[in-house]
Structure 1
Amino acid sequence: MNPDASTIWRGPRWLLAALLACLGMLGPFSIDTYLPAFTGIAQSLGATPVEMQQTLSAYLLGFALMNLFHGALADSFGRKPVVLVGLMVFTLASIGCAMSQSIGALVLFRALQGMSAGSGMVVSRAIIRDMFPPAEAQRVMSQVTIYFGVAPAIAPLFGGFLFVHIGWHAIFWFLVLVGTLLLGVMWRLLPETLYPGQRQPFNARHLMRGYWDMVSSARFMALAFASGVPFNGMFLYVLSAPVFLGEHMRLGPTQFFWFFLMTIGGIMGGAWFSGRLAGRITPQRQIRWGFIVMIVVSLLNLALNLTLPPSPIWHLPLIGLFSLGWALMVPVVTLLVLDEAPTRRGMASSLQACIGSVANALVAGAIAPLVMHSTVLLAVASSLMTAVGVVAWIWVRPRLTLPTHADLKRAALDLK
């Protein structure tokens, strides 16, 4: 934590959380906005469904690749410069997407979008831990998740409206506007939170040593898998949305909003509960509750898919409940990941995000195309991803030193 945190930011906590949420939402917002136009873009550019799927894979692979470096750069040069440069590149890449006349050009600029969009998400996590002690950081992380949830919920609504009434190019011009506005706001309001004494040297040897220390840490990797892989149990449905919603659920482009409303509503609800529980129950108990919700929903989803015909009436609420379970536990696990490397939190955030993004890209490029045409296979794949997270947490839990109820009570008294 930055020892000067109290003087760096004097505004209300919710405003800082809102700024960080705006940074964190840019990545998923860039995905959800154009999903309703998938079919229209394919027809306009003469692309096959597999080629269109690669616009997602390229974005996610670019996202994963640069996530390895955003945090390390922020540890060396400061949080704010990395955010501003990322927003500049994102805006330019969005212009390229809007002006694309071939599927190859669109894939290229989507990859560039992905490489730049992750800077905000990675750096915002480090900023939270720069500014707040553990329990307070969990509350802010939960607030960020709540605010973050609003944007992806409305993104497909904007995307569907722009596609139907103007055309798919308008979706990316809209993202140009979003990037420009965020650049101006962050330039004006975002503080620099990296303490000068905590800056890390930026050289290849130092970076490789830092990455190796984390990758070779079984605890770090298990925590990263516990937070990142289960997310794909829900994200698989987002990536498969054009087929899942259009073919299986028989919803129109402007009706995709209901799916994202359920999903993001679950994330916001879980994040709200996570913030309320911060400092009241132990982290391990909160994480256990989140996994229990995801396990129960996964098994119920699989059973219903095996016995009932597909229907949005029960499909969509179950996905929302799964999202709630994930959001209940992920703020806590994320802070545990960052605290595994207290002097390199930017790098830790980078590597955690990279692991999650690689899993996302694998799901988008390989798993989703294989299972999206069957609701049963979607349910099986989602359950397996949940199982990976559960196994990782069961393994790492006994190897962590976590606060007890007595520790929480002492921390509460110290705050008073």
Structure 2
Amino acid sequence: MTSPQRPVRRSLPWLLAGLSMIGPFTIDAVFPAFPLIGARFGVGSAELQQIISVYLVTYATMSLFHGAISDAIGRKPVIVAGMLVYALASAGAALSTSFGMLLACRALQGMCAGAGLVVGRAIVRDSLAGTEAQQLMARVMMIFSIAPVIAPIVGAQLLFLGGWHGIFWVLTGFTLLMAVALVAYLDETHPPSARTPFHPASLISGYAGFGRDRPFWPLLISCTVNFAGLFLYIASAPHIIRDLLHLSAQGFPWLFLPVVAGLMGGAWLSGRLANRRSVAYTVNLGYGAMLLACALHLLVALVTVEPVLPWSVLPLVLHGVGIQLAFPTLTLLLLDRFPHRRGGVSSVQAFCSLLLCAFVAGVMSPVLSVRMLDLAWGTSALSLAGWLSWRWYRRLTRRPPSAGLRAPSLETELQAEIAEPH
């Protein structure tokens, strides 16, 4: 592990939380503007969904490179450059004169937005180890969790002030402020002595090395599919709010407030449990909450002919708690598989997660958002896949780590738990 060069600044959680908010804000803030954008450019709901899908596809693709580039040149330059180009793309979106131009700017936003999320996770693990890293990750996610509820509310209010253009101007200003704050307050956590050269052949070889590590796969799947189950409801928000609940653009908080309450509560609880409960206990508790939420989704959808407030959205609270309980530990276990390539590992995880979210938004959501019951089945399948992958990882790690691979701290703790007599 790379030791930090100086004590972690108090501003670090806020900087990382601000960076991680950009992704959900870019997605959720535009939902209330869909009707206005559709009317302005003469496009339907299928074309409007591309505003999300195009962003996610380019976000996922570039996420494969952000971490590896930061492994080569340092974390700070990659994040600052990403924020500046993102601001330029947001301004272009606000000034778009055609739907094609808007989609092109959204694609550029996606190419840059991932720099903060991907590299930010590597910064956490560069700076801290063990339960301290878990607590910092939980704090970041707790702050980040307000983004999904703030975004559609702000987006809806901006429709009265500057129309859909105002949403992109706010994103422009926010990322410019973030760039200034990063220059002033973010320390470089990846010193030159720990850097690895960036070459395409080396990149491919490194990713192939990840694939040869058997425990890497179940951790990757678990980290990827957990949030996708909740994202199915987030991506379906326009259909749920307008078509199923028959609410106006001001009704988005009905969906997003339960999501945020769960995410914030789960992040807080994860941080509290870091020093009190074991790694396995925290993740198992998270999956217990997720699977119970899925059962409640199915039960409510089966017993109600039409969606009913608040019961149809309340299981989202428990779902969010479960995701945030499991996420910090699963992510740190994944990053610790390759201590000298944490940026690259974070890139692969972000790529897979975002690619799946693009599939959820572009394929699953249009098909399943016709009925709440279909959405419940979809999120249940994704959550069950995450739990089965976690069980797979537990079985693999019952054996000692392979020769030549040093077991990282959280994984060592997990193996010690397994070895204890019960």
Measured against the shorter chain, the TM-score band is over 0.9
The alpha carbon displacement at 1:9 in A equals 3.8
Counterpart in the other structure of 2:354: 357
Cα distance per residue 1:361-393 (max 9 Å; x no partner): 111111111111111111111111111111111
Cα distance per residue 1:188-216 (max 9 Å; x no partner): 11110003221001111211110111133
Counterpart in the other structure of 1:386: 383
Counterpart in the other structure of 1:11: 9
Counterpart in the other structure of 2:407: none
Q: Does 1:240 align with 2:236?
A: yes
Counterpart residue identity of residue 324, structure 1: V
Counterpart residue identity of residue 342, structure 2: R
Q: Is the 8 A contact 1:226 1:393 kept in 2?
A: yes
The alpha carbon displacement at 1:233 in A equals 1.2
Q: Does 1:78 align with 2:74?
A: yes
Report the Cα distance in structure 2 between the residues aligned to 1:406 and 1:170, rounded to whole angstroms.
52
The alpha carbon displacement at 1:94 in A equals 0.4
Q: Is the 8 A contact 2:19 2:116 kept in 1?
A: yes
Calculate the TM-score normalised by the size of structure 1.
0.94
Q: Does 1:287 align with 2:283?
A: yes
Which structure features the higher share of helix residues? 1
**Structure 2 residue matching 1:200: 3-state secondary structure:** coil
Counterpart in the other structure of 1:146: 142
Report the Cα distance in structure 1 between the residues aligned to 2:222 and 2:416, rounded to whole angstroms.
24
The alpha carbon displacement at 1:10 in A equals 5.4
Q: Does 1:89 align with 2:72?
A: no
Alignment match of 1:206 (pick from 202, 207, 215): 202
Alignment match of 2:298 (pick from 296, 302, 305): 302
Report the Cα distance in structure 1 between the residues aligned to 2:70 and 2:84, rounded to whole angstroms.
16
Counterpart in the other structure of 1:108: 104
Q: Which runs of 5+ in 1 are unaligned?
A: 409-416
Q: Does 1:118 align with 2:111?
A: no
Counterpart residue identity of residue 107, structure 2: A
Counterpart residue identity of residue 99, structure 2: I
Counterpart in the other structure of 2:420: none
Q: Does 1:42 align with 2:38?
A: yes
The alpha carbon displacement at 1:153 in A equals 2.1
Q: Is the 8 A contact 2:266 2:325 kept in 1?
A: yes
- Runs of 4+ in structure 1 deviating by more than 6 angstroms, as ranges, are 405-408
Cα distance per residue 1:210-245 (max 9 Å; x no partner): 011113333212111112112111101111111111
Counterpart in the other structure of 2:2: 2
Matches within 5 A, 1:168-247: 168-247=164-243
Counterpart residue identity of residue 235, structure 2: L
Report the Cα distance in structure 2 between the residues aligned to 1:38 and 1:146, rounded to whole angstroms.
28
Matches within 5 A, 1:247-326: 247-308=243-304, 309-326=306-323
**Structure 1 residue matching 2:310: 3-state secondary structure:** helix
Alignment match of 1:334 (pick from 326, 331, 336): 331
The alpha carbon displacement at 1:32 in A equals 1.2
Counterpart residue identity of residue 256, structure 1: F
Counterpart residue identity of residue 265, structure 1: A
Cα distance per residue 1:313-354 (max 9 Å; x no partner): 112221121011111110000000000111100000110111
Q: Is the 8 A contact 2:8 2:127 kept in 1?
A: no
Alignment match of 2:130 (pick from 123, 134, 139): 134
Q: Does 1:65 align with 2:65?
A: no
The alpha carbon displacement at 1:405 in A equals 8.6
* Cα 1:85/1:367, change in 2 over 3 Å: same
When structure 1 is superposed on structure 2, of 51-60 and 189-198 the one drifting more is: 189-198
Counterpart residue identity of residue 18, structure 2: C
Q: Percent identity?
A: 39
Cα distance per residue 1:170-193 (max 9 Å; x no partner): 111111111111111111111100
The alpha carbon displacement at 1:406 in A equals 11
Counterpart residue identity of residue 177, structure 1: G
Q: Is the 8 A contact 1:274 1:327 kept in 2?
A: yes
Cα distance per residue 1:254-285 (max 9 Å; x no partner): 22123222111111100100000003211111
Report the Cα distance in structure 2 between the residues aligned to 1:10 and 1:398, rounded to whole angstroms.
35
Q: Is the 8 A contact 2:32 2:238 kept in 1?
A: yes
Counterpart residue identity of residue 217, structure 2: M
Q: Is the 8 A contact 2:279 2:414 kept in 1?
A: no
Calculate the TM-score normalised by the size of structure 2.
0.93
Report the Cα distance in structure 2 between the residues aligned to 1:98 and 1:8, rounded to whole angstroms.
40
When structure 1 is superposed on structure 2, of 362-371 and 245-254 the one drifting more is: 245-254
Q: Is the 8 A contact 2:301 2:376 kept in 1?
A: yes
Report the Cα distance in structure 2 between the residues aligned to 1:379 and 1:405, rounded to whole angstroms.
32
* Cα 1:164/1:312, change in 2 over 3 Å: farther
